[in-house]
């Protein structure tokens, strides 16, 4: 027990949520959001992933050290640690896979403007650029090269029709409010608004929910 | 395919989330503290109660190292009260979710749990202590269905009146499933925002595909009407009539 534990017990104003819980909450929230939102969300900027990856790496090293120990007590601790490690790895993996799936689906869209490129992490950006280049090269060598030069583009926007497929931001999503706030949404017949309380669940379009989610007033569920 | 799952959490993923809920256990044997990625697990000393994530509690339970103390809302009396509320008091909506967990700030005021300074992170299920033994009774938390099913499957001997609880849960599930189906009439209206206060995670996951399908269908059918309406509103607000009302949504 160190001074923080003692403070925590006597002082109710002391911040009792440890940084590990905060990171797990942030990771879980990011995962759920990425699984639910129709478009790719921003890569967490505050180094959340680097922190979590670091910790996972350290934990794996610890497991490797402990495996040599044949004491039954360590054995049980080892089972617990490994179970948790697998759970963390699942979260990270599922989050990254959800992002890659979205990037694969609309590669050209996410590479089209600087703003959209900022949403990708550096590895994701490298992957998307390389993948798109390979794909373009493949198309070119198999059939595009026999087309007239003016028809060889994959990102033609002439004639008011864009070749670049974009995600549908009006897809409906479920959100949970994290504070009392008025929820406004566009509808087909009328535009709606509702006074929401902390913890309420709403269905609305992602384009309307985005502002609430980004400001931290709501999360996707 | 990088991820062959549809958008939105599927039931197995919801169950995975539910396993992070904190539950109360009574250890049967001493266990040294273990440092995990999600934080330090306290040293377990019988008969002192401790709060652990559900997945760990189930592991200890399976090895007969601990007993799980069911949350107070899982008591038959509490469940009957909720069913009474669902059927008689509010036959339209779901029973209300548990009140936000607050802590005293030491100056006679209550603050949201985990919200120490303005703008700080707000915790949400499964990281709220809504399934611990001292969670408020008569309120169903977000992960109620998954949690109670898991406890009944793996720790039914720890639950007071397990057979009765099982029957009550089935009734509750049926009443609420009917309400969930009924909520589609709201979706048809095309009003933009539909509230589902008090709904549970598994209930959402079960009907996500259906609900989203209805909303999408309504939107696509009404897309041209909506575009016309928006153009009209824009024209009107440019003309200066009722500008306040339209500007707010524009």
CA of B226 vs chain A CAs: smallest distance (Å) = 5
Task: Note the pLDDT tens digit of each residue in B14-50.
Answer: 999 999 999 999 999 988 888 888 888 889 988 899 9
Contacts of A201 in chain B (CB under 8 A): 195-199, 204
Residue with tokens 């509702």: A194
Q: Average of pLDDT values for B196-213?
A: 88
Name the percent of chain A lying above pLDDT 90: 41
When pLDDT is cut at 50, 70 and 90, the band that residue B242 belongs to is: very low
Q: Are strands A181-185 and B22-27 parallel, antiparallel or unpaired?
A: unpaired
CB neighbours of B21 closer than 8 A, spacing ≥ 6?
B53, B54, B125, B126, B130, B131, B143, B147
Contacts of B219 in chain A (CB under 8 A): 170, 172, 188, 205
A30 touches chain B (CB under 8 A): no
* pLDDT score at A10: 54
When pLDDT is cut at 50, 70 and 90, the band that residue A192 belongs to is: confident
Of A20, A87, A221, the CB nearest to B55: A87
Sign of CA dihedral A124, A129, A132, A138: negative
Paired strand residues for A220: A175
Of B19, B190, B195, the CB nearest to A200: B195
* pLDDT score at B56: 93
Contact B201 A183 (CB under 8 A): no
Distances (CA, A) of A199 to A33, A129, B20, B112, B139: 16, 40, 18, 12, 13
Of all helices (H) and strands (E), which one includes residue A186?
Answer: none
pLDDT of B12 strictly over 70: yes
CB atoms within 10 A of CB A152: 14
Task: Note the pLDDT tens digit of each residue in A207-219.
Answer: 999 999 988 889 9
Q: Which residue has the higher pLDDT, A70 or B7?
A: B7
Residue with tokens 């967490």: A44
Contact A203 B196 (CB under 8 A): yes
Cα–Cα distance measured from residue A48 to residue A109, given in angstroms and rounded to the nearest whole number: 26
* pLDDT score at A2: 57
Task: Note the pLDDT tens digit of each residue in A96-124.
Answer: 999 999 999 999 999 988 889 999 999 99
Rounded to 5°, angle at Cα B195 from B192 and B200:
135
Of B202, B230, B215, nearest to A38 by C-alpha is: B215
Q: Specify whether the CB–CB gap between B56 and B41 falls below 8 A.
A: yes
Taking all residues of chain B, what is their mean pLDDT, rounded to a whole number?
83
Contacts of B248 in chain A (CB under 8 A): 184
Of B201, B215, B249, the CB nearest to A203: B215
Q: Which residues of A93-126 are buried (b: 16+ CB within 10 A; e: fewer)?
A: ebbbbbbbbbbeebbbbbbbeeeeeebbeeebbe
pTM of the model: 0.85
Of A13, A90, A174, the CB nearest to B204: A174
Q: Which residue has the higher pLDDT, B186 or B55?
A: B55
Task: Note the pLDDT tens digit of each residue in B134-181.
Answer: 888 888 899 999 999 999 999 989 988 899 999 999 999 999 998 888
Token pair belonging to B184: 């589609």
Q: Average of pLDDT values for B60-75?
A: 92
* pLDDT score at B240: 55
CB atoms within 10 A of CB B240: 7
Task: Note the pLDDT tens digit of each residue in A28-84.
Answer: 999 999 999 999 999 988 888 999 999 999 999 999 888 877 787 788 889 999 999
Sign of CA dihedral A89, A31, A104, A153: negative
Q: Which domains does chain A have, with CATH numbers?
A: 3-166 (1.20.58.1030), 168-221 (3.40.5.60)
Contacts of A190 in chain B (CB under 8 A): 190-192
Which residue of chain A is at minimal alpha-carbon distance from B207? A174
CB pairs under 8 A between A and B: 198
Q: Compute CA A220 distance to the chain's CA centroid, rounded to the nearest angstrom.
A: 11
Cα–Cα distance measured from residue A184 to residue B17, given in angstroms and rounded to the nearest whole number: 29
Give the sheet arrangement for strand B50-53, strand by strand: B50-53, B22-27, B66-69
Q: Which residue has the higher pLDDT, A155 or B161?
A: B161
* pLDDT score at B250: 38
Domain B11-188 classification at class level: alpha beta
Taking all residues of chain A, what is their mean pLDDT, rounded to a whole number?
86
* pLDDT score at B249: 45
């Amino acid at each position: 027990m160190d001074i923080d534990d003692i403070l925590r017990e006597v002082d109710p104003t002391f911040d009792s949520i440890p940084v590990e819980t905060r990171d797990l909450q942030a990771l879980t929230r990011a995962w759920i959001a990425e699984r639910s939102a129709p478009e790719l969300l921003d890569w967490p900027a505050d180094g959340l992933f680097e922190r979590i990856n670091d910790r996972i790496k350290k934990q794996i090293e610890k497991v490797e050290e402990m495996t040599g120990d044949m004491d039954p007590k360590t054995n049980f601790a080892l089972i617990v640690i490994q179970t948790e490690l697998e759970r963390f790895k699942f979260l990270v993996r599922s989050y990254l896979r959800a992002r890659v799936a979205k990037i694969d689906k609309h590669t050209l869209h996410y590479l089209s403007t600087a703003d959209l490129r900022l949403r990708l992490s550096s590895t994701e950006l490298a992957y998307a650029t390389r993948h798109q280049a390979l794909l373009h090269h493949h198309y070119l060598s198999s059939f595009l090269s026999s087309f007239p030069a003016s028809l060889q583009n994959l990102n033609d926007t002439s004639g008011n029709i864009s070749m670049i497929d974009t995600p549908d931001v009006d897809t409906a999503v479920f959100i949970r409010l994290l504070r009392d706030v008025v929820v406004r949404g566009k509808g087909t017949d009328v535009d709606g608004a509702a006074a929401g309380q902390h913890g309420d669940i709403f269905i609305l379009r992602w384009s309307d929910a985005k502002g609430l989610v980004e400001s931290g007033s709501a999360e996707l569920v | 395919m990088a991820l062959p799952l549809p958008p939105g959490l599927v039931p197995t993923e919801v169950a995975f989330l539910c396993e992070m809920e904190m539950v109360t256990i009574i250890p049967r044997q001493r266990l040294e503290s273990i440092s995990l990625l999600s934080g330090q697990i306290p040293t377990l000393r019988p008969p002192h109660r401790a709060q652990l994530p559900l997945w760990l509690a189930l592991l200890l339970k399976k090895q007969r190292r601990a007993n799980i103390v069911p949350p107070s809302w899982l008591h038959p009396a509490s469940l009957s009260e909720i069913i009474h509320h669902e059927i008689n008091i509010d036959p339209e909506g779901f029973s209300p979710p548990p009140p936000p967990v607050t802590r005293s700030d030491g100056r006679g005021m209550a603050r949201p749990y985990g919200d120490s300074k303005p703008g700080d992170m707000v915790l949400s299920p499964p990281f709220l202590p809504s399934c611990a033994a001292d969670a408020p009774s008569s309120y169903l938390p977000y992960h109620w269905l998954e949690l109670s099913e898991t406890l009944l499957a793996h720790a039914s001997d720890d639950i007071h009146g397990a057979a009765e609880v099982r029957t009550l849960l089935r009734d509750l599930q049926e009443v609420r499933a009917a309400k969930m189906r009924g909520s589609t009439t709201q979706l048809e209206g095309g009003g933009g925002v539909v509230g589902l206060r008090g709904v549970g995670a598994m209930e959402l996951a079960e009907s996500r595909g259906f609900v989203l399908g209805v909303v999408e269908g309504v939107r696509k059918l009404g897309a041209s009407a909506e575009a016309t309406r928006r153009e009209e509103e824009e024209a009107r607000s440019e003309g200066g009539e009722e500008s306040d009302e339209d500007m707010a949504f524009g």
